[in-house]
Chains A and B, each alone.
Chain A
Amino acid sequence: MLTARQLYFEAVKVGDELPPLVKPPVDRLQIARYAGAAQDWNPLYVDEPHAKGAGFPSAQAPGMIAMGFLGELAVDWVRGARLRRFQARFVKIVWPGDVLTARGRVTDRRFEEGGRYVADIEVWAENQRGELVVRGSATFQLYYSAEDEARQRQGQPPLAVTREEEEARLAKLSRAQPPRPAPAAGRPLAPPRAVLPPPGRQPGPAPIPAAAGRPPAAAPTRPVRSGKPSKPARPAKAARARPAARRKPPKPKARPRPAKRAASKGKARARRPAKKPAGKKRR
């Protein structure tokens, strides 16, 4: 469900995960309804004898249904942000009865000229067998903050914040945090611990992840993070309707973790079935 609250750019972090969206099975009725609503009358979707005659085991679902699920996932998460770009590649055919789970993750956030703030989200869906069926990305433009939204709604120019200004503000915030309790006397002082990077900070000084728009061939990239064990900011909303009894080891694992080389790791992982313990992917 859509909440009234906006998602603001200042709250978006690279690596944030979207709560997975589990859709009801794609049945033949839905396929027919979609074909009509989209005016997409490919006979492979609605004409079973035709599909069999063409060598398919049955009629198939339009890939665009799966892409529509990705759109629902992303739009629900960004609440009110403006969609700029949305693309997807159809990796595997969706068959009647398939249960798709849509997932996503923030791969980049950018400060653009003229007070425009943009986030890239990679999105993908897998079926009940854990197979990747569609993979894509969406680019949204967001308000920087509630203040920015209020200004723009009153017809004023957008709030202009640079990355440097944001970093400086966050650094100040983290300095303003209460000091740690003094170490117990008598024990040798531990070496000073590094201050945690402030939330929202990007790794490195020029943090435009090169892989932003281009996930590797078989699986979404993992975000490169600055080693901070943060939990992804999640809206209060839980994923909808989760059918039980359909959890297989997932291929594209969604979980931000420190990764040195996002692209190569992602690829390697995709070739082999997940060797990580499954089951924690549903939070």
Chain B
Amino acid sequence: MLDRSLIGRESEPAVHEVEKGMIRRFAEALGDPNPLYVDEAAARAAGYPALVAPPTFAVALASNERFRHSLDLGTRSILHGEQQFEYVRPIVAGDRITVRSRVADVQERPGASGPMDVIVIEDDGRDDEGKPIFRTRATLILRRA
């Protein structure tokens, strides 16, 4: 059983500068040809200040490896159970976003091969003035070895 005292543990803030190339690579990895993700002229014509990020792009900013390591989840297999995004505004190239990660929940759930640990990590992304841009919530399932 994962330690429930992890609930509430927070990461150090991580500052991300959203680069054009990062957005393009993300869209290309998904095979999504939407020009708003790759073509600046198209993005401006649609009223955006710069390249727009695809809907699931925030995961690229939310996966704080160092924080996850600090939780000491061990070497068990981690499966992705659920994912949520809330956007206050779209992420665009040139954004500077400060992301804080937090353990929102730790549970035990019955699984096909015995009980599984579930950890829920929330990430909150804000601009330099502290205004919220997005929130994400990832539910991860840890298989017992």
User: Which chain A residues have a beta carbon within 8 Å of chain B's beta carbons?
Assistant: 1-2, 4, 23-24, 30, 33-34, 36-42, 44, 54-56, 62-65, 67-69, 71-72, 74-76, 80, 82-90, 93, 138, 153
State whether A44 touches B78 (Cβ < 8 A).
Answer: yes
* In the complex, chain B residues whose CB is within 8 Å of the CB of A74: 55
* CA A75 to CA B36, docked complex, whole Å: 11
Q: Decide yes or no whether B108 CB sits under 8 A from chain A.
A: no
State whether A2 touches B32 (Cβ < 8 A).
Answer: no
Q: Which of B29, B35, B36, B55 contacts A34 (CB 8 A)?
A: B29
* In the complex, chain A residues whose CB is within 8 Å of the CB of B84: 85-88
Closest residue of chain A to B77 (Cβ to Cβ) is A54
State whether B31 touches A24 (Cβ < 8 A).
Answer: yes
* In the complex, chain B residues whose CB is within 8 Å of the CB of A90: 79-83
A39 to chain B, nearest CB (A): 5
B contacts with A, residue count (CB < 8 A): 37
Secondary structure class of chain B's binding surface, majority of residues: mixed
Known pairs A54-B77, A84-B87; A38 contacts B34 (CB<8 A): no
Q: Decide yes or no whether B63 CB sits under 8 A from chain A.
A: yes
Closest residue of chain B to A139 (Cβ to Cβ) is B86
State whether B85 touches A86 (Cβ < 8 A).
Answer: yes
State whether A68 touches B63 (Cβ < 8 A).
Answer: no
Known pairs A39-B65, A89-B81; A33 contacts B55 (CB<8 A): no
Closest residue of chain A to B48 (Cβ to Cβ) is A80
State whether A84 touches B86 (Cβ < 8 A).
Answer: yes
* In the complex, chain A residues whose CB is within 8 Å of the CB of B130: none
* CA A56 to CA B89, docked complex, whole Å: 39
Closest residue of chain B to A67 (Cβ to Cβ) is B56
State whether B87 touches A62 (Cβ < 8 A).
Answer: no
